[in-house]
Each structure stands twice: as C-alpha cells, then as structure tokens.
Amino acid sequence: MRIALRIALAASAALLTLGVAQAQEKTLRIGTEGAYPPFNNLTADGQLVGFDIDIAKALCDEMKVKCTFVAQDWDGIIPALQAGKFDAIVASMSITPERAEKVDFTHKYYNTPPAIVAPKDSDIKGVSKEDLAGKTIGVQGSTTHFNYSTATYTDSTIKPYPTAQEYQLDLANGRLDAANDDIVVLQQWLDSPDGACCKLIGTIKPDEKIHGPGAGIAVRKGETDLVNQFNAAIDAIRANGKYKEINDKYFKFDVYGGES
C-alpha cells in the first residue's frame, strides 16, 4: 500500500510539472477533418496538408503560438471541440447560425460558391430545382451543402455520405446522378484522374441563410480572446501578403471572395 501510494504521488507530481511546462510553452491544438482536398487532406504517410493547414500555420506564426494538428471525423468535430480535444477548428467550416449557437466563429477566411457536378453523359442542364427533379444527388452529410440540397431540391433524392470521397466514388460508379459540394473541392476532383467520369454543371448562388458568409475558424463558446487573436491574425496575413502566397499555391483565383 505504502509503495503504491508513493508511486501514485510521484506520478501525479510529475504530471503536474509536465502540465506547468506545457502551459508555459502555450500550444494551440487545431482540429481538422483531413478528407476534404484541397483544403485539408491526409497524405499517404499520415501528414495533414492543404489550404486550411497552411492558413492555420500562418495564423499560428502570426499569433506567435505553437500549433499541433488533430484529424477528426466531420460528424464529431464540434462535439470534440466542446469536449476539449482541441482548441480551434480550421476545417473549411461554414459560419452558420445553427453552428454559431454551439461555437464562436472568427471572421471568414475564405468564401467560395457551391456547385453541382454530374457524369459526362448526363442530361442535367442547370442547377435549379427543376433541372434536378427526379435525380439522385450525393452530398456530404452534416454540411451546409446537405442542408441546402434537402431544402432546395425537394423533388430529388438526397443521399448523405460520411465524407466527400464516398459520394465521389458513387458518382463514378453511376449510383448518383449528381453531387453538390464546394466548387473548389469538386474542381480539384474533376481535374484528377478519379474525376474523369464527370463534368461541372454549374455553380450555385450561395444562400446567405444556409451557406453563411463563408468559412471561419470555430472556437469554444465564450473564448473571445482567442477569436480576437485569430481575427487580428487573419487581417495581418491578408495585409502582409502571406495569404496571397498560400492562395496562389493552391488556386488560380482569389478564394477570399468579396470584402464583407
């Protein structure tokens, strides 16, 4: 008993000092999905790469904090933030009123329109409700695109998938007539060999009520300091050209969208 007690005491003392050491260094843990190229993606050897990751790294440099990244399933990403698994979500998360009830958002750090893709031999002419009536549309579940699809394409069958990769597979397989997602994600896929099956039908005019003002960084409710730091850092990298550098690394156009 005595020995066990001593070991326990020693261990907790060691943990305490470790905790203090960590607090002094100040690391920020960033949660992201890792299945949404080109924004965030896991490479074959398990490294997180993408626009979101580079932006997050630039913001951390600007804020002079050390950042570590955590890959987390999209469905559980907000609960994981709330449970303290990480401190901020940089995962192309659209700022919506539904989510803003649970987390606090920074300003947007990019805003790109959604779009519709379909197989090359498809007879779909446009992106309106009538154009897609009777069709089966694939979309990633728990996203603004899913909410938009279920609200808009009421005459179509909406199939929610766990990640973007699965609806892409099913689109190539021919189980789906169309898919709805962010234009950048879809375009990247269409340009890859896997997306050879399909073509872009057109972009959708974003619905402010559903899509929100763009993608922002989410932090736990009430952490206003962190939000302010992130906002200042976003403005700083926009001003000093770091944002443009990252933007140009991934895209041929400006993904920030208009000033809002």
Query: Site for another protein (CB under 8 A): which residue of 16, 125, 154, 174?
Result: 174
Which of 160, 202, 213, 257 lies at the binding interface for another protein (CB under 8 A)?
160
Q: Which of 65, 70, 107, 162 contacts another protein by CB under 8 A? A: 162
> Is the Cβ of residue 65 or residue 169 nearer to another protein in the bound state?
169
Cα 154 from Cα 148, distance rounded (Å): 10
Cα–Cα distance measured from residue 148 to residue 259, given in angstroms and rounded to the nearest whole number: 23
Nearer to another protein, 113 or 141 (CB): 141
- Least separation in angstroms between residue 87's CB and another protein is 18
Question: Does 207 contact another protein by CB under 8 A?
Answer: no
Question: For another protein, which stretch binds (CB under 8 A), given 15-23, 168-176, 207-215, 251-259?
Answer: 168-176
Q: Considering the complex, what minimum distance in angstroms separates the CB of residue 76 from another protein?
A: 8
Asked if residue 177 lies in contact with residue 124, where contact means CB atoms within 8 angstroms, the answer is yes
Exactly one of 7, 15, 19, 98 binds another protein (CB under 8 A); which one? 98
Residues 61-70, buried b or exposed e (16+ Cβ, 10 A)? ebbebebebb
Q: Is 145 exposed, middle or buried (0-12, 13-18, 19+ CB in 10 A)?
A: buried
Q: Does 192 bind another protein (CB under 8 A)?
A: no
Q: Report the residue from 71, 107, 113, 142 that binds another protein according to the rule CB under 8 A.
A: 142
| C-alpha torsion 40→42→43→44, nearest 10 | -160
DSSP string, 159-219: EEESSHHHHHHHHHHTS-SEEEEEHHHHHHHHHSGGGGGEEEEEEPPP-HHHHTTSEEEEE
Q: Which two tokens stand for residue 221?
A: 């409710």
Which of 11, 18, 79, 128 forms a contact with another protein (CB under 8 A)?
79
In the complex with another protein, the residue whose CB is nearer, 38 or 162, is: 162
**Which residues lie below 8 Å from residue 222, measured CB to CB, with a gap of 6+?**
104
User: Residue 67 pairs with which residues in a beta bridge?
Assistant: 28
| Binding segment (CB under 8 A) for another protein, from list 22-30, 34-42, 73-81, 252-260 | 73-81
**Least distance to another protein from the beta carbon of 174, Å?**
5
Cα 142 from Cα 35, distance rounded (Å): 14
Told to check if 169 binds another protein by CB under 8 A, we report yes
Tell me which residues touch another protein (CB under 8 A).
Answer: 75, 78-79, 82, 98, 102, 141-142, 159-162, 166, 169-170, 173-175
